[in-house]
């Protein structure tokens, strides 16, 4: 099925009676929409609203439509919203390969087939042969790439990027960014990026929404 992109239809976020932000936009497949704003402006809350795991302290309204499917009100696990945070958040009790296997949809059957999909996903991010490694032994850049491989292995219908490059040093940041945006374009995923960093917005190349505090 053709991915028709992600639509945020008159989405508003409020904390108590303080309106934080209002967004009404469409993101085409393969496009990255960047949202910039200071901390506390509700931009990360917007991502958790799209993902379906918003903190009950916030009030949100509006509709989320992805690939023609209305996601509003669906539980988070039904939304196929892949998320990358500023930390890789690899599950420490699983191996690197276990983290990828955890993401591969259950429809892919057979031990050997799932394993080879996981190996391939790791090879795609330049980490062939890392399958049995313990996540704790990886460098920061390697962790970030495993996190990317993991989220892609779940066949998401969109990507939500919550300042995913901010913990990496400058050199690594550029390369990881290129890898993520290349994957977004290659898989024609609509992506929503939240960041402080102007360079992230420039590299994303898509439209930018700026919100004030």
SS3 of the chain: CCCCCEEEEEEEEEECCEEEEEEEEEECCCCEEEEECCCCCCHHHHHHHHHCCCCCCEEEEEEEEECCEECCCCCHHHCCEEEECCCCCCCCCCCHHHHHHHHCCCCCCCHHHHHHHHHHHHHHCCCCCCCCCCHHHCCHHHHHHHHHHHHHHCCCCEEEEECCCCCCCHHHHHHHHHHHHHHHHHCCCCEEEEECCHHHHHHHCCCEEECCC
In whole angstroms, how close is the CB of 88 to other proteins at the nearest point?
A: 9
In whole angstroms, how close is the CB of 49 to other proteins at the nearest point?
A: 12
- Quick note: the x/- pattern for other proteins over 68-87, rule CB under 8 A, is -------xxxxxxxxx-x-x
Question: For other proteins, which stretch binds (CB under 8 A), given 88-96, 122-130, 164-172, 177-185?
Answer: 88-96
46 in contact with other proteins (CB under 8 A): no
Question: For other proteins, which stretch binds (CB under 8 A), given 2-10, 146-154, 167-175, 181-189?
Answer: 146-154
- Contact residues toward other proteins (CB under 8 A) are 48, 51-53, 55-57, 75-83, 85, 87, 89, 91-95, 97-98, 101-103, 105, 132-134, 150-151, 154, 156, 160
């Amino acid at each position: 099925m053709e991915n028709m992109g992600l639509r945020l239809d008159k989405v508003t976020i409020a904390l108590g009676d303080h309106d934080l932000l209002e967004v009404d936009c469409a993101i085409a497949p393969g496009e990255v929409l960047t949202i910039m704003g200071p901390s506390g402006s509700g931009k990360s809350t917007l991502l958790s609203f799209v993902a379906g795991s918003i903190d009950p302290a916030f009030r949100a309204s509006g509709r989320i439509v992805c690939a023609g499917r209305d996601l509003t009100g669906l539980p988070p696990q039904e939304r196929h919203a892949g998320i990358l945070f500023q930390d890789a958040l690899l599950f420490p009790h699983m191996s690197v390969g276990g983290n990828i296997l955890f993401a591969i949809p259950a429809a892919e059957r057979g031990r050997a087939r799932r394993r080879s999909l996981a190996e391939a996903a790791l090879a795609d991010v330049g980490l062939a042969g890392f399958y049995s490694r313990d996540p704790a032994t990886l460098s920061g850049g390697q962790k970030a790439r495993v996190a990317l491989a993991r989220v892609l292995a779940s066949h998401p219908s969109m990507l939500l990027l919550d300042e995913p490059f901010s913990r990496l040093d400058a050199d690594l940041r550029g390369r990881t960014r290129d890898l993520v945006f290349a994957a977004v374009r290659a898989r024609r995923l609509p992506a929503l990026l939240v960041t402080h960093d102007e360079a992230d917005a420039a590299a994303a190349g898509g439209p930018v929404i700026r919100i004030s505090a």
